Amino acid sequence: MIGQGRRFARTDAGRTGLWVEFLGLYLVAPVLMALAVPPERMFPALFAVTVVGVVLLTRTPGFSWAELRRQESRFDWRLIGLIGLATLVTGVVVLWLTEPGALFFLLRQQPGLLLLILCLYPLLSALPQELVFRALFFRRYAPILPRGKAALWLNAAVFSFAHLMYWNLLVAGMTFAGGLVFAHVYARQGNFPLAVALHAVAGNVVFLVGLGVFFYSGNVVRPF
């Protein structure tokens, strides 16, 4: 998968335009949201950025939605289980040490809300994020990406940086680790559906165990 889009936008003008888009979407937008967007407006801002990303994906030369459907779609249940277990263990340990009262809070106090989150997160969060941070990243910007594993590490870094608005090292570390796995599954295995499934499972476990307290914009405290 890496390099699939390198045949597109090879001119200097094309590469310059890609760099402008890339930096605007993956660097400037996260910084603006982290520094200037009020917490109550973060999700509308995220939605707007996602729409821009999806539009750019549809305008990528040679891209079609059918190619995502045609990709390898076998689910590696062992990997899915490992991601879920790793997220669960991390969440329990972190919350036990920092905020034990948050452990399984939604499950204990608001099971209906938790069920709603578990049903909607895969479609409204995991899928759009994978479109922007995996399909768009590797497909449209392949001509300007580093080669080999460096592209995977860059993708994980970009994905982690997109969560700067939470101002939390735990969030940064978890999203970097998750991003590295999702990037490998999409770019090396060519399995977009599995990347979405892994992201969905990890995100759902985050809210199940109580780590959602760190991913909730209402709890954001800027260090300035």
CA distance 142 to 19: 11
CA distance 77 to 88: 16
User: Alpha carbon 128 to chain centroid distance?
Assistant: 8
Q: State the pLDDT at residue 7.
A: 47
Region 148-177: mean pLDDT is 96
Phi then psi for 220, rounded to 5 degrees? Answer: -65, 130
* Amino acid in the structure at residue 34: A
Both tokens of residue 68? 């995502």
Crossing angle for the helix pair 192-209 and 77-98, nearest 10 degrees? 30
Q: State the pLDDT at residue 43.
A: 87
Region 195-207: mean pLDDT is 97
Q: Look at residue 71 and tell me whether its pLDDT is greater than 80.
A: no
Q: State the pLDDT at residue 3.
A: 52
User: Alpha carbon 69 to chain centroid distance?
Assistant: 19
Of the ranges 5-9, 151-155, 219-223, which is most confident?
Answer: 151-155
Spatial contact of 188 and 1, defined as CB atoms under 8 Å apart: yes
* Residue whose tokens read 């689910």: 75
Q: State the pLDDT at residue 8.
A: 45
Spatial contact of 14 and 143, defined as CB atoms under 8 Å apart: yes
Domain boundaries, the chain: 12-219
Q: How high does pLDDT run on average in the chain?
A: 90
Q: State the pLDDT at residue 9.
A: 43
- Annotate 125-162 with b (16+ C-beta within 10 A) or e (fewer): bbbbbbbbbbbbbbbbbbbbbeeeeebbebbbbbbbbb
Region 11-23: mean pLDDT is 85
Phi then psi for 125, rounded to 5 degrees? Answer: -125, -55
Q: State the pLDDT at residue 39.
A: 81
Confidence of residue 86 (pLDDT cuts 50, 70, 90): very high
Q: Look at residue 167 and tell me whether its pLDDT is greater than 70.
A: yes
Spatial contact of 194 and 74, defined as CB atoms under 8 Å apart: yes
Q: Look at residue 190 and tell me whether its pLDDT is greater than 80.
A: yes
Confidence of residue 13 (pLDDT cuts 50, 70, 90): low
Spatial contact of 5 and 62, defined as CB atoms under 8 Å apart: yes
Region 97-107: mean pLDDT is 94
CA dihedral 207, 212, 215, 219 (to 10 degrees): 150
Closest CA to 157 of 135, 133, 139, 140: 133
Region 30-42: mean pLDDT is 90
Q: pLDDT, tens digit, for every residue of 123-155?
A: 999 999 999 999 999 999 999 999 999 999 999
Q: State the pLDDT at residue 50.
A: 96
Q: State the pLDDT at residue 38.
A: 87
Spatial contact of 83 and 198, defined as CB atoms under 8 Å apart: yes
Q: State the pLDDT at residue 40.
A: 82
Phi then psi for 63, rounded to 5 degrees? Answer: -80, 145
